[in-house]
């Protein structure tokens, strides 16, 4: 996977301030982007799992969703000369991933194409001051993956002093990135979240926060077995949060 860089009511207490609305209305774009992500997230996850039939269904859903999004927003940022290029690149990556998935082989390659889409669209939004909550998750994802890689397949006897120093250097960035998500406002309705989904995100966010604190404690004590255990635990908890933004039920219809 490429390294890239919640008390909930109707408005979740997660408190960044939206930038001034652009011509098409920032809320409208955020809502439509969330609709696109309902298709994008399953495709990203399922290709990462190597599930061929499910990935084929997800790519069909993704292509349909992307066509709708691109048609509406291709000319949405006339002052940003990179905007259209980014959307064209996203389309090329989708077509490349779809071709790979259709072959039934090398799904990790399709997954990498989709990972590139996530960062390309995040960069385009950030460049245009479009605040989109999942981008905060993507920022965390990058440093979380570095932590995961530092402990993956390690045993206490093979976890080196260099590995431990890497973890100590990365942990503050991970905590800062996760705290940014915690402090951000999250309009559940804007993202199409049902109350139970919003509540689940709150619970999962707390679990990841606790896991980061547990890793910090393990590093302070120097317990290598616990360092590995808590370092590895960050990824599955994060994935559960991110998957809330995908519509996997649609693939069952």
Does the structure show a pLDDT above 90 at 9? no
Please report which confidence band the pLDDT of residue 168 belongs to, taking 50, 70 and 90 as the band edges. very high
The mean pLDDT value for 15-39 works out to: 71
pTM reported for the whole predicted model? 0.87
Domain 24-130, what fold? 1.20.120
Nearest to 147 by CA among 87, 93, 211, 210: 211
Closest Cα to residue 98, out of 52, 128, 56?
Answer: 56
Strand, helix or coil at 77? Answer: coil
Instruction: Tell me where in the chain the CATH 1.20.120.660 domain(s) lie.
Output: 24-130
pLDDT digits (tens, 9 = 90+) for 190-222: 999 999 999 999 999 999 999 999 999 999 999
Residue matched to tokens 């990824």 = 235
Which structure tokens are listed for 67? Answer: 């066509």
d(CA 24, CA 30): 11
Over the chain, what is the mean pLDDT?
90
Statement: residue 16 has pLDDT above 70 = no
Is the pLDDT at 252 greater than 90? The verdict is no
Is residue 17 within 8 Å of residue 42, measured between CB atoms? Answer: no
Strand residues in 58-189 grouped as ranges (E): 186-187
Tens of pLDDT along 66-106? 999 999 999 999 999 999 999 999 999 999 999 999 999 99
Average pLDDT estimate for 148-169: 97
How many percent of the chain have pLDDT more than 90? Answer: 86
Q: Which CATH architecture has domain 1-17+131-253?
A: Up-down Bundle (1.20)
Residue 26: pLDDT band with limits 50, 70, 90: confident
């Amino acid at each position: 996977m490429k390294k890239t860089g919640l008390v909930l009511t109707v408005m979740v207490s997660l408190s960044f301030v939206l930038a001034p609305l652009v011509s098409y209305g920032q809320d409208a774009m955020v809502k439509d982007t969330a609709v696109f992500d309902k298709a994008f997230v399953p495709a990203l996850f399922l290709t990462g799992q190597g599930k061929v039939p499910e990935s084929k269904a997800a790519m069909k859903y993704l292509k349909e969703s992307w066509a709708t999004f691109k048609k509406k927003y291709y000319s949405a940022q006339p002052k940003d000369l990179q905007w259209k290029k980014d959307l064209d690149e996203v389309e090329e990556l989708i077509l490349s991933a779809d071709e790979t998935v259709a072959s039934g082989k090398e799904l990790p390659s399709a997954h990498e194409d989709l990972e590139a889409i996530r960062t390309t669209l995040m960069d385009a939004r950030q460049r245009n001051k479009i605040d989109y909550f999942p981008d905060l998750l993507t920022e965390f994802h990058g440093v979380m993956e570095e932590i995961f890689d530092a402990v993956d397949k390690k045993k206490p006897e093979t976890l080196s002093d260099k590995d431990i120093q890497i973890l100590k250097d990365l942990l503050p960035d991970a905590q800062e990135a996760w705290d940014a998500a915690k402090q951000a406002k999250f309009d559940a309705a804007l993202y199409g979240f049902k109350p139970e989904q919003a509540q689940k995100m709150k619970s999962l966010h707390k679990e990841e926060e606790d896991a980061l604190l547990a890793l910090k404690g393990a590093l302070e004590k120097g317990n290598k077995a616990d360092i590995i255990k808590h370092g590895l635990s960050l990824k599955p908890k994060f994935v559960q949060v991110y998957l809330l933004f995908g519509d996997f039920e649609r693939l069952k219809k």
